[in-house]
């Protein structure tokens, strides 16, 4: 009798063990399938949304930017769109960020060598680093990638606007010669004859 109970318990435990292992295998396969589906959706999203837009510069700014070699390399990297995998997008954003970092530390054209341009490039660098970080997360979230891509494009737009504004500023008339300053002083003296 003891042998019968022991044999029944053994069979029952073996069945439970086999059943639980099959469920665990099914669950693991389900998780793998979900992860692959998510990777595919992230890749499709990146493939559709990966584009960086630069404002069309004025002819004056365009001449300056065409002579700025590192800027040309940076914009060429922005135009390259990876096509093979998420890893290719990760590598491309690293290359873009490296080009921008080299831009920060190299000589700027004289007209663009101002604190506000350097600040805008630093902000753009930060948004590129955010995009890089979101692309390297274990679980890539599409909404965060979309936000980071939008930030990069917005900062590119602001940078181009700032460059254009810096070129427009010197065209405003400012008294820079001594004759202009003397004329202004004479006007002040005539307005106040008692001084």
Q: Return the pLDDT at 193.
A: 63
177 C-beta neighbours (distance < 10 Å), count:
9
pLDDT at 104: 82
Distances in whole angstroms, Cα of residue 12 to Cα of each of 2, 8, 65:
15, 6, 78
Beta-carbon contacts of residue 111 (< 8 Å; ≥ 6 apart): 64, 166, 167, 170
Among 153, 102, 109, 158, smallest CA distance to 131 is for 153
Over the chain (195 residues), what is each successive 10-residue block's mean pLDDT?
68 63 65 73 89 90 91 92 90 93 86 90 94 90 93 95 84 55 62 63
Q: Does residue 113 contact residue 123 with C-beta atoms inside 8 Å?
A: no
pLDDT attached to residue 172: 47
pLDDT of residue 95: 94
**Residues with Cβ < 8 Å from 53, sequence gap 6 or more?**
153, 156, 157
The whole-angstrom separation of Cα 81 and Cα 47 is 8
Q: What angle is formed at CA 52 by the lines to CA 88 and CA 141, rounded to 5 degrees? A: 55
Instruction: List, in sequence order, every beta strand (DSSP E) within the chain.
Output: none
CA gap 151, 41 in Å, rounded: 21
Distance CA 25, CA 159 (A): 53
């Amino acid at each position: 009798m003891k042998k019968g109970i022991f044999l029944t318990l053994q069979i029952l435990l073996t069945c439970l063990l086999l059943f639980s292992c099959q469920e665990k295998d099914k669950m693991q396969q389900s998780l793998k399938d979900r992860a692959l589906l998510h990777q595919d959706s992230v890749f499709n999203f990146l493939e559709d949304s990966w584009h960086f837009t630069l404002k069309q510069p004025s002819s004056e700014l365009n001449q300056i930017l065409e002579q700025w070699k590192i800027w040309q390399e940076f914009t060429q990297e922005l135009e390259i769109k990876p096509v093979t995998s998420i890893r290719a997008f990760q590598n491309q954003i690293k290359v873009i960020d490296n080009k921008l970092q080299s831009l920060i530390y190299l000589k700027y054209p004289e007209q663009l060598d101002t604190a506000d341009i350097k600040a805008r490039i630093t902000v753009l660098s930060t948004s590129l680093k955010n995009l890089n970080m979101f692309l390297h997360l274990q679980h890539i979230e599409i909404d965060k990638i979309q936000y980071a891509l939008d930030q990069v494009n917005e900062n590119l737009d602001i940078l181009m606007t700032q460059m254009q504004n810096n070129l427009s500023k010197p065209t405003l008339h400012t008294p820079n010669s001594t004759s202009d300053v003397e004329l202004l002083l004479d006007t002040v003296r005539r307005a106040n004859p008692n001084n």
